[in-house]
Chain A
């Protein structure tokens, strides 16, 4: 049994049933096994890259760069969640592209509410989601795009993909304190941006504390 990711909800790709065996084969140079792994997780990688970069083409490039890095590094893979390992590689590949683009850290992405076509299709992976939930995800992605870039990358890595502060600091080549501050400010800003859609998440969830 592959380890279950506590931070991996039903809307995310679950590990393969025989994942450890497939990884072992891929690490021994079995190209078919590697292809099987990457095919399984490509939506996870693409989703992260798209949320970091905000552009479908750049996201596809970043994901493919990550697959090449993963292919070179899989022989050195030492356990843990493969999904998390692959997502860290994808975050680094995305951040390389971000750095090359040299956008200002305060840059926001084009408004997704107008460019709704830019939101990639996710229905295939989210078949049983209620319409309301899908709508919430759509507004959340739109709100993330309106965060300043430094806050968006930090919130995406930490809150969307479950990386800890240290991992975010490493991926974004920033100081730990800076990363924490960006995440906290990003959360507050996101709440403001989601204010008009509060009913979508406040009505569905009840805190039990």
Chain B
């Protein structure tokens, strides 16, 4: 038994052999050693038996009932009226807030708070409108344009303004045509005051409407449940 005097193979190689690892099974030296070694042969046998027992370990009953199949996927969410309304509330709130802001700025501008800053711009706008006026007033409009740009109105432009105000008051914020009046001494005070109050009206309407929309949209948003659909 000379083989037994040779060094034993590494135990990990014996464990590989016990598992039927091809590389190790083909190792002639190791196979020859196992045939004669009283230490290694029983070790491999024991590992093999253990491995056989491991392969028999039974299946185990679950500790609790298992969900065997994923739940049926919910049908593609058809958004109901509620969810559509709810989706609209955010832009509506934003629009309402925007209107309130525009209205507030408008009132500020017409009530003189911003008139200093904006008068030049409004003059420009008036001038542009004048340019689009009928042929008969073309000359007057031209003269109106000039003082508008310069910021120093002439008496003739006052006449033109009066005509324009009457015809265009419905469509255009009239404040533009009255703001230059703050400086000239020629305009009378009562007309000025009356003009300002009527000028604020559309802005005020805008502000109130905006506030209304905002409040309504906010109320809707919190009334409709998030999962209405």
Cβ of B69 and Cβ of A31 under 8 Å apart?
yes
Instruction: Say yes or no: B58 contacts A67, CB within 8 Å.
Output: no
In the assembled complex, A64 has its CB within 8 A of some CB on chain B: yes
Name the A residues within 8 Å of B62 (CB-CB): 42-43, 46, 59-60, 63, 120
Residue A175 is within 8 A (CB to CB) of chain B in the complex: no
A44–B69 CB distance below 8 A: no
Q: Are B67 and A64 in contact (CB under 8 A)?
A: yes
Contact across chains for B68 and A124 when beta carbons are under 8 A apart:
no
B209 interface hit (Cβ, 8 Å): no
Closest to B62 in A: A46
User: With A and B bound together, what is the CA distance between A16 and B11 in angstroms?
Assistant: 41
A35 CB to nearest B CB, Å: 5
Q: Give Cα A183–Cα B18 distance, bound, in whole angstroms.
A: 11
Q: How far is the CB of B49 from chain A (nearest CB, A)?
A: 5
| Residue numbers in B under 8 Å from A121 (CB-CB) | 60-61
A162 at the interface (CB under 8 A from B): yes
A-B pairs with CB below 8 Å: how many? 141
Inter-subunit contact A38/B69 (CB<8 Å): yes
The answer on a CB contact under 8 Å between B59 and A11 is: yes
For residue A173, CB closer than 8 A to chain B, the reply is: no
Q: CA A155 – CA B49 in complex, angstroms?
A: 14
How far in angstroms is the closest Cβ of chain B from A137?
A: 6
- In the complex, the answer to whether A207 meets B48 with C-beta atoms within 8 Å is yes
Q: In chain A, what residue has the closest Cβ to B12?
A: A184
Q: How far is the CB of B103 from chain A (nearest CB, A)?
A: 56
> Known: A159-B55, A188-B47. Is A124-B12 also a contact (CB below 8 A)?
no
Within B12-64, the residues touching A (CB, 8 Å) are: 12-13, 15-16, 18-19, 21, 43, 45-64
User: A202, B46: Cβ atoms under 8 Å?
Assistant: yes
Q: How many B residues have CB within 8 A of the partner chain?
A: 35
Q: Please tell me if B70 contacts chain A, counting CB pairs below 8 Å.
A: yes
Residues of chain B contacted by A188 (CB below 8 angstroms): 11-12, 15, 47
The range of chain A's interface size is: 35 or more
Query: Is B66 part of the contact surface with A, judged by Cβ < 8 Å?
Result: yes
Contact (Cβ within 8 A) A34 B69? yes
Within 8 A of B (CB), among A88-131: 120-122, 124-126, 129
Q: How many Å from the CB of A12 to the closest CB on chain B?
A: 5
CB neighbours (8 Å) of A11 from chain B are 56-59
How near does chain B come to A34, taking the closest CB pair, in angstroms? Answer: 6
Contacts of A68 in B (CB 8 A): 70
> Would B61 and A137 count as touching, CB distance under 8 A?
no
| CB nearest to A12 among chain B residues | B59
Nearest CB of A to B10, in Å:
9
Asked, given contacts A159-B19, A187-B47, whether A122 binds B12 with beta carbons under 8 Å apart, the answer is no
Closest beta carbon of chain A to B198's beta carbon, Å:
70
Is the beta-carbon distance between B53 and A7 smaller than 8 angstroms?
no
**Could you say which of B12, B45, B53 contacts A207, with CB atoms under 8 Å apart?**
B45
| Residues in chain A near residue B54, CB distance under 8 A | 140, 155, 159-160, 190
Chain B residues, Cβ within 8 Å of A71 = 69-70
* Contact partners of B69 in chain A: CB under 8 A: 31, 34-35, 38, 67, 71
A57 to B11, CA, bound (A): 37
A sample of 9 more A-B contacts (CB under 8 A), given A46-B61, A140-B50, is: A12-B56, A56-B64, A67-B70, A120-B63, A125-B61, A126-B58, A140-B54, A187-B50, A207-B48
A contacts, CB < 8 Å to B: 7, 9, 11-13, 31, 34-35, 38-39, 42-44, 46-47, 50-51, 56-57, 59-60, 63-64, 67-68, 71, 120-122, 124-126, 129, 136-137, 140-141, 155, 158-160, 162, 180-181, 183-185, 187-188, 190-191, 194, 198, 201-202, 205, 207
In the assembled complex, 30 residue pairs joining A and B whose CB atoms fall closer than 8 Å, in A order, are: A9-B55, A34-B69, A38-B68, A39-B68, A42-B68, A46-B59, A46-B60, A47-B60, A56-B63, A56-B64, A59-B62, A60-B66, A67-B67, A120-B63, A137-B57, A140-B57, A180-B21, A184-B11, A184-B13, A184-B16, A185-B12, A185-B15, A187-B19, A191-B47, A201-B49, A201-B50, A201-B53, A202-B46, A205-B53, A207-B45
